[in-house]
Amino acid sequence: MKNTDHIPANILQKLLTAQRNEVTQSLVYQKIASAIKDEENKKIINKIAEQEAYHAKVWESYTNQDVKPKKHKVWFYAVVIRLFGLTFGIKLMEKGERNAVIDYNKLSGVVPEAKDIQKDEEEHEAQLIAMIKDKPLDYLGSIVLGLNDALVELTGVLAGLTFGLQNATIIASVGIITGVSAAFSMAGSEYLSTKTDGDGKVKPLTASIYTGIAYIFTVIALILPYLLLSNVYLALGITIAIAITIIAIFNFYASIAKDYSFKSRFGEMVAISLGVAFISFIIGLVVKEVFNIEV
């Protein structure tokens, strides 16, 4: 044990917070490792768990206190990892805990090892995390294809139909037929594209399934307001809000899992989806007037 009488109370509190975070993360990694079957992933995750436990011991040598893990966070991250994959859950945890903790530069004046711990967190663990084999990320491109195409195409179609037909039941029916047909078409195209240009890492059939499922789930979400509401303009507004929400959620996932820029990709996808919807709205009005459609 080190003599810690010289450590200011505010710094000691930060050390205790850092120590608790490391203990918590180590336990999360241990639980993950015990639950997965892939031996390579298990080995990598156990290595990260050991590193986190070592960091906790370093902080403990200065705090001289034994702290308990945050059990609610252990549960939360275990659930997130099961639902959204290893890489996303681990990166979300590492990013959240690192942002919530301390300024390593300030701490290094009191704890010389702080710089080494920071280096471990930023470099070593990042390298280990990059080595993890995570199937959902291998097929992220296929999911993007399904989501993006459904959002752009169906939002536009629904906007055009809304102002062209102005009947929620008919719009929903046409939207379902269009959406499901397009989902199978996109899944088939992804199968052929992956089979032709794939590197062997991504299986064509699996890629097509990811694309099709992403497309169909998006179709259901976008058409649902028309099935529940008779006011087509309110339904369209809710559909556009749902589209923006889906874009935000997906881009948040991608920004964490693949280190993408959230703002630029989110803005780009929203601009494209709303742009197509607006153009389709204009086309719907023109078609309605030219052909004098009354439903």
Q: Look at residue 226 and tell me whether its pLDDT is greater than 90.
A: yes
Residue 222: per-residue pLDDT: 92
pLDDT band at 227 (very low <50, low <70, confident <90, very high): very high
Could you read off the pLDDT of 232-261 as tens digits, one per residue?
889 989 998 998 898 888 888 878 777 777
Residue from 85, 86, 81, 65 nearest 17 by CA: 65
Residue 137: per-residue pLDDT: 63
Angstrom distance (rounded) from CA 254 to CA 257: 5
pLDDT band at 203 (very low <50, low <70, confident <90, very high): confident
Alpha carbon 30 to its chain centroid, in Å, reads 23
Residue 234: per-residue pLDDT: 94
Q: Where are the domains of the chain?
A: 9-133, 136-291
How much of the chain exceeds pLDDT 90, in percent?
8
Residue from 122, 27, 123, 102 nearest 59 by CA: 102
Could you read off the pLDDT of 21-74 as tens digits, one per residue?
889 888 988 888 887 777 887 888 888 888 889 888 988 888 888 888 888 888
Residue 221: per-residue pLDDT: 92
Q: Look at residue 224 and tell me whether its pLDDT is greater than 60.
A: yes
Instruction: Looking at mean pLDDT, say which of 1-10, 61-70, 101-110, 191-200 comes out highest.
Output: 61-70
Residues 6+ apart with CB under 8 A from 187: 146, 208, 209, 211, 212, 215
Q: Look at residue 132 and tell me whether its pLDDT is greater than 70.
A: no
Q: What is the average pLDDT score of the chain?
A: 80
Residue 242: per-residue pLDDT: 92
User: CA 281 → CA 149, 178, 183, 244, 268, distances in Å?
Assistant: 18, 17, 23, 17, 20
Residue 225: per-residue pLDDT: 94
Residue 127: per-residue pLDDT: 64
CATH 1.20.1260 describes domain 9-133:
yes
